[in-house]
Chains A and B, each alone.
Chain A
Amino acid sequence: MSTITKDGVSSPAPALASPAKPRRGLRGSPTFNFWLFTGPFLIGLAIFVYLPILWSLYLSFFEARFTVTPSEFIGLDNYVTMLTDEDFIGSLGTFTVFAALIVPLTWATSLGLALMVNRLRFMRAFFRSVFFLPTAVSYVAASLIWKMSIFNGVRFGLANTFLGIFGIDNTAWLASPDPPWYWLLIVTVRLWLQAGFYMILFIAALQNIPQEMYEAASIDGAKPGWQTFWHITLPQLRATSTAVILLLLVAAYQGFDEFFNLLNKTTWGRPPLVELYYKALGESQDYGAGSAGALILTVLICLVTLLQGKIMGFGRGEESK
């Protein structure tokens, strides 16, 4: 995301010059109009964003099973429960593995696609559309294709058919946590869905690199190819790369759909949100512990976002200008 102004986020919009015919009364007052414009949104934000967060803060200090209006105050017990819960801690481990795989892979794939598409002379728009098209597909639909067609564990799955040519036995991709073949599905499905989106960002960034830099480099004797890529393209893409990596990280943190649909009801390979879903809305309906878990995750993501704000500045100056 980027600012399209010179003043950046933190400075208020300058006041309008007073209109030639000032309107009298309430309808012309800027303050009234400000609230008229922002009011509906702010009311909704208060009810549907701030209130749930506060309510879950309240719930997290109470014994709240099967009820959302609890009476028994239990202090920090829910937090202790969650932080000592092996499944919950394990889900953070799952997320770590997931992020370590998906973030660099998507970054490299989308950058590679952008570099390729950007160098094409013919059929550029066509190839760009092909790579971008999966963006329109839902995680549920993609999970179905992966699970039932490409990586179907039996003989007629595409992957097993292909491997069968080389005399390799059928692999049951999703059947067990060991060997962890399921990661192959989890990672490739998200890679396929996401790469085109980030490719668009990289293409836009590539086209913003001033041509003079390449000209200067070739005068200095840099060979086109790796040298210019390493010394010019990559450094110029730094801001975009940072943004993409942080976006990928936050998106991975919220991974739910593909885990839920690929691994439904397995006890392994659960990221944090899936774990919370079963904890709060599953058999036990433990809203207290669920809320505590949600708050722990929120704090973690706030730390990441703040770090990101530190590194990048919230919509503030562009480093490479």
Chain B
Amino acid sequence: MTTTTTPPADRVDRVDVSAKPRRVRTGSVIGSTGLYLATGIAAILFLIPFYLIVRNAFMTDPEITGEEWKWFPTDIQWGNISEPFDDPSVDFARSLWNSAVVGVLHTVGTLLVCSLAGYGLARIPYKHANKVFYAVLGTLMVPTAVTFVPSFVLVSSLGWIDTYRGLIIPGLFSGFTCFLFRQYFLGFPKELEEAARVDGLGYMGAYWRVVVPNSLNFFAAMATITFISGWNSFLWPLVIGQDPSAWTVQIALSNYTTGQTVNFHLIFMATAISILPLVFVFLFLQRWLVQGIAQTGIKG
């Protein structure tokens, strides 16, 4: 599927979505005040949930549930930070660790496997490459979410329930990521590889020494997108993590709601901690993320 959002590949690394557009001047003072007012109100609405997480995470429960609505905690409860980790009912530290392991390995694995395949499909001349490509395209038709029942059946027969293998490996083979890499490599300048081949490098050598180092921007974009979706995924970890020791942080969060006592500040502190790594990833890699989305025009 196509959108017209894409600049040619050779320019893509320099797309800056925040660049000032050329536009016809409509500049009346009233118009621009109204515009900023509308944007400001929308921004406040979008930030309310973030504000609530932080507010509730640093309050005491009586303050949260009190008669009077309080905008800020009377005393910032720094002690709340350690509470999710001391909670006997959910091993929160373990779940964070599981999420970190799964997130990193999922990202590294997906990028490795899918980028190699994408390159092979885009660049290596082979009689039946098209047939292979259609076999990959066919899987785009079937969203992974819909096939979780048979996938669960398969993974449980392999004995991978409650293992990292079960959490990570089935998700590595994303037809979609492979497709995006193929599209990217189709636009990669041939001259570079040809020079490498003349110097006597094979396909693999040229790939690792020339193609990958020159594609780091695209890899960074794909890594960011893949990590975020891995960290936030819910359905598959829910199916695989039967035992609490195999829970990811999303499953742990989900379980707080079914606990016996509702402990508001603990739940919101845990939520805040679970979002924190992504906010960091987001702040540092936003440029690539925006570029990646603008370029690929899909994922989510």
Q: CB within 8 Å of B: which residues of A?
A: 1-5, 7, 9-10, 12-17, 19-21, 23, 27-28, 30-31, 33-38, 40-42, 44-45, 47-53, 55-56, 59, 68, 113, 116-121, 124-125, 127-142, 144-150, 154-156, 158, 161, 192, 194, 196-197, 200-201, 203-208, 211, 214-215, 218, 224-225, 228, 239-240, 243-244, 246-247, 250-251, 253-254, 256-257, 260-261, 264, 273, 276-277, 280-281, 287, 290-291, 293-294, 297-298, 301-302, 305-306, 308-309, 312-321
**Number of chain B residues close to chain A: CB under 8 A:** 133
How many A-B residue contacts, CB cutoff 8 Å? 408
A119-B116 CB under 8 A given contacts A37-B124, A197-B300: no
Q: Is the CB of B129 within 8 A of A13?
A: yes
Q: Is the CB of A16 within 8 A of B123?
A: yes
Interchain CA distance A313-B1 in the complex, whole Å:
6
Partner pick for A16 among B24, B48, B67, B125, CB 8 A cutoff: B125
Partner pick for A23 among B202, B271, B282, CB 8 A cutoff: B202
Residues of A within 8 A of B127 (CB): 31
Q: Is the CB of A38 within 8 A of B116?
A: yes
Residues of A within 8 A of B7 (CB): 208
Jot down 16 A-B pairs with beta carbons below 8 A, ordered by A. Answer: A2-B295, A4-B186, A55-B150, A119-B35, A133-B282, A136-B275, A138-B250, A138-B253, A140-B234, A149-B268, A150-B48, A204-B17, A206-B21, A260-B234, A281-B152, A302-B141
Contact digits for B197-214, partner A, Cβ 8 Å, 1 yes 0 no:
110101110010000000
Q: Is the CB of B17 within 8 A of A127?
A: no
Cβ of B96 to closest chain A Cβ, rounded Å = 13
Partner pick for A197 among B116, B157, B183, B293, CB 8 A cutoff: B293
Q: Is the CB of A53 within 8 A of B53?
A: no
Given contacts A144-B257, A244-B3, 6 further A-B pairs with CB under 8 A are: A52-B151, A53-B142, A137-B275, A208-B5, A305-B140, A320-B4
Q: Does B296 make an interface contact (CB < 8 A)?
A: yes
Partner pick for B3 among A36, A136, A194, A205, CB 8 A cutoff: A205
Residues of A within 8 A of B246 (CB): none
Contact digits for B165-196, partner A, Cβ 8 Å, 1 yes 0 no:
00001101101001110011011001001100
Q: Is the CB of A239 within 8 A of B3?
A: yes
Partner pick for A316 among B2, B52, B141, B278, CB 8 A cutoff: B2
Which label, helix, strand, loop or mixed, suits the secondary structure of the A interface? Answer: helix
Partner pick for A56 among B65, B150, B172, CB 8 A cutoff: B150
Interface centre among B4, B119, B122, B258 (most CB of A within 10 A): B4
Which residues, 95 to 149 on B, are CB-close (under 8 Å) to A?
A: 113-114, 116-117, 119-127, 129-130, 132-133, 135-137, 139-149
Interchain CA distance A124-B190 in the complex, whole Å:
37
Q: Does B42 make an interface contact (CB < 8 A)?
A: yes
Q: Is the CB of B279 within 8 A of A1?
A: no
Q: Is the CB of B202 within 8 A of A27?
A: yes
Interchain CA distance A305-B274 in the complex, whole Å:
34
Interchain CA distance A140-B238 in the complex, whole Å:
12
Interface centre among B64, B130, B187, B294 (most CB of A within 10 A): B294
Q: Is the CB of B129 within 8 A of A68?
A: no
Q: Is the CB of B65 within 8 A of A33?
A: no
Residues of A within 8 A of B52 (CB): 145, 149-150, 158
Q: Does B228 make an interface contact (CB < 8 A)?
A: yes
